[in-house]
Chains A and B, each alone.
Chain A
Amino acid sequence: MDAIQSILVYTVVLGSLYLLIALGFSLICGVLGIFNLGYGATFLVAIYGMWMLLSTIGVNLWVAIIGVFILQFLFTLGIIYFPIVKRYMEKEELLLTSLLLVSLIVEETVNHFYPVTAGVDIPTAIFSHTLQLGSVSIPAQMLIVIIAAVLITAFFVYFLMKTRIGFKIRAISQQLEASRLLGVRVERVYALAMILSVVPPTICMLIIAPIWAIEPNMGHSLLQTAILVTILGGLGNLRGTVMASFIVGLIASSVAFLGNPRLVGMSILLVVFFVMIFKPQGIAKSETLW
């Protein structure tokens, strides 16, 4: 009974976390139709950008939070979108390789200035105690992750379904050429989608940084998580991504509590591998964004 309780709680906790990690990646996949392999750098810019503003420049917490978002937008548009994605969208072999390289450059730059031995302390913890839910205890900060996941997803859904710009984004995701002919400024919408895509990972990192092991090469595993959830969700369908996040959360918590925690990574990879072979369209088809 305790195991089932633990599995249910951690499915929600991990599912929310995976959702925040993968939401931006999935949006890019759905709108631009590309795999942003430089997405791993987004997490590093969020954490180490914040740390740079706090420790090296010495601004206060609120200014640093605003600053990290500005930094993130500048990085996404100035380094990822305009010089690489916009120019090489049709040359995917070049696009994917260069995005991976950008991610590696960011990682090495971070490692150079803030090596893992120096440590990082982001003071964004709202709760520092643990929470007891029946027989299960979780860090109370994880509640913020769940709330953030719900709010950001709700915002994304509202934005895409109810606003004029959301219609344009969905139109591009379905029929690029038709949208262009009807007067949608595709490049602008792409840039907006790129900006939107960095919001969930930045918020996610700011929330979990106080309770998470931070290191310069953490981008690889987070990118891997985002890729796996997005593949399972149907390559760019946000509804599928939400479902996939909680399915991956369920797999992770079930394997950890009923089997062996060391098998969590392998089991997720195997599930996604077989889904890709036998149901390559994933849970939901990527024809629509929602």
Chain B
Amino acid sequence: MVRIEHKRALMVFRFGDKKFEWPIETRYWRNPILGIGLLALLPIVFSGRPDALSLIATANIYACIAIPLAWQMTGIGRLNFGPQAFVGIGGFIAALASVHFGWGPWATLPFAILGGLFFGFIFSPLTNIAKGLYFSLITLIIPLIFLEITYYFSIFKGETGLYGIAPLVNVSSIKAEYIITGYMALIMMVIFLFVVVKVFDSRIGLYSAAINDDEEVANNLGLNIKRWKIISFVITSTMVAVAGWFAAHYFGTFSGVTYLQLPFMLKILLMVMIGGRGDVYGAVYGAYFVVILEKALTVVGLAHYILFPLILLILLFALKEGIYGLYRMHRYREYYPTIRVRKR
């Protein structure tokens, strides 16, 4: 039985010997919990609208790419222009295993993770070899090479891509399937968010901030920056690969044309930038905002293809710290990452 008590500025919820405290004053509310609670309501509210459910799931998948990228930008102190390469790695591993061997999503997941870890480790020395603009350029090239590989080798099915990938859940009701997968996407996003927030609150977050602000100073202070950059890159790349795995099983189709080209990278980058310039919560705001804006603009017809990037361009200039910056203006300002391609 839950007992509710009023204790000074707190509401205390007691359940047996466990207790949960909630501040009464709104400025002390734990807004991430409220935000996630609101997002959790969305699939129920829109349970009769498959298009809205699909939109919510898509926003969560994008957030799952943008959240680790926000960590990566700080953790390696560089701007990755090719995160979609790891979406491709996770997605193609899932798609190939599912289409060619008939594996289900839970059988392909470990391989997507292993693929992310393996290729993350292979490419991780770049975080130490290439600096500033060179890193951005090299990472820009990697997905393009991958795209050429998918064109060349027939197992990737070129521009058509792989289709018939096993769905995430098998239930008879389509409505139930939409709701379940919607919640699965949300749970994945919340896990990613929780992990990255905890990392930023930990010692690793402090190391990341030090590396992002000044690598040389961090190194002189005794921080093994090479090791921490590699760790940040490998883990975040693997998380992005998992998002790719989810996308492949969620949409049932996966092609390099969709995920490996510049427009997809640009969309992810915009989510990070417009959301909150590399802030973790901002990445979630950015993902939802970009996905909903794109959908909302379809009411104007074909002109939405022009309006969509135009509005994002205006917002990019207008919101100096992104959408999340509007909220942060009234909140305590803890460490805020500075993204600079070429640090001076």
Contact = CB atoms under 8 A, between A and B. Distances in A.
Nearest to B135: A276
B145 A104 contact: no
A276 B313 contact: no
A147 interface: no
B148 A269 contact: yes
A92 B262 contact: no
A91 B266 CA distance: 17
B306 A112 contact: yes
A175 B339 CA distance: 25
B145 A112 contact: no
Given A101-B313, A266-B152, A277 B305 contact: no
B242 interface: no
Contact of A104 (B126, B130, B151, B263): B263
Contacts of A272: 141
Interface string B122-151: 000010011001101110111011001101
Contact of B270 (A97, A105, A220, A262): A97
Query: Max chain B CB contacts within 10 Å: which of A97, A108, A272, A273?
Result: A97
Nearest to B144: A269
B137 A231 contact: yes
B341 A92 contact: yes
B263 to A, nearest CB: 7
Contacts of A154: none
A103 B130 CA distance: 27
Interface string A246-274: 00000000000000101101100110110
Interface residues of B, number: 40
B10 interface: no
A272 B266 CA distance: 22
B231 interface: no
A96 B137 CA distance: 11
A112 B317 contact: no
A210 interface: no
B145 A92 contact: no
A94 interface: yes
A174 interface: no
Contacts of A91: 340
A93 B340 contact: yes
B306 A96 contact: no
Nearest to B306: A108
Given A111-B305, A227-B140, A102 B149 contact: no
B302 interface: yes
B210 interface: no
Given A93-B339, A104-B266, A105-B310, A269 B145 contact: yes
Q: Indicate the size class of the contact surface on chain A.
A: 20 to 34
B342 interface: yes
B312 interface: yes
Contacts of A112: 302-303, 305-306
Contact of A220 (B81, B142, B152, B261): B261
Interface string B97-138: 000000000000000000000000000001001100110111
A192 B144 CA distance: 32
A288 interface: no
Contacts of B306: 105, 108-109, 112
Interface in A73-131: 91-94, 96-98, 100-102, 104-105, 108-109, 111-112
B340 A98 contact: no
A179 interface: no
Contact of A100 (B129, B133, B137, B266): B266
B130 A94 contact: no
Nearest to B138: A276
A220 B140 CA distance: 13
Interface string A145-181: 0000000000000000000000000000000000000
A273 B145 contact: yes
A272 B145 CA distance: 10
A92 B133 contact: yes
Contacts of A228: 141
A272 B134 CA distance: 12
B341 A104 contact: no
Contact of A97 (B148, B151, B152, B316): B316
Contacts of B316: 94, 97-98, 101
Q: Which 8 pairs of residues, A with B, have the shortest CB-CB distance?
A: A266-B148, A92-B341, A108-B305, A101-B313, A104-B309, A269-B145, A93-B339, A108-B306
26 contacts: A35-B133, A35-B137, A91-B340, A92-B133, A92-B341, A96-B341, A97-B266, A97-B273, A100-B269, A101-B270, A101-B309, A104-B266, A105-B309, A108-B305, A112-B302, A112-B306, A220-B261, A224-B144, A227-B137, A231-B137, A266-B152, A269-B145, A270-B145, A272-B141, A273-B142, A277-B126
Given A105-B306, A220-B261, A273-B141, 10 more contacts: A91-B340, A92-B133, A93-B79, A97-B269, A100-B262, A101-B266, A227-B137, A228-B141, A231-B137, A277-B138
Interface of A: 35, 91-94, 96-98, 100-102, 104-105, 108-109, 111-112, 220, 224, 227-228, 231, 260, 262-263, 265-266, 269-270, 272-273, 276-277, 280
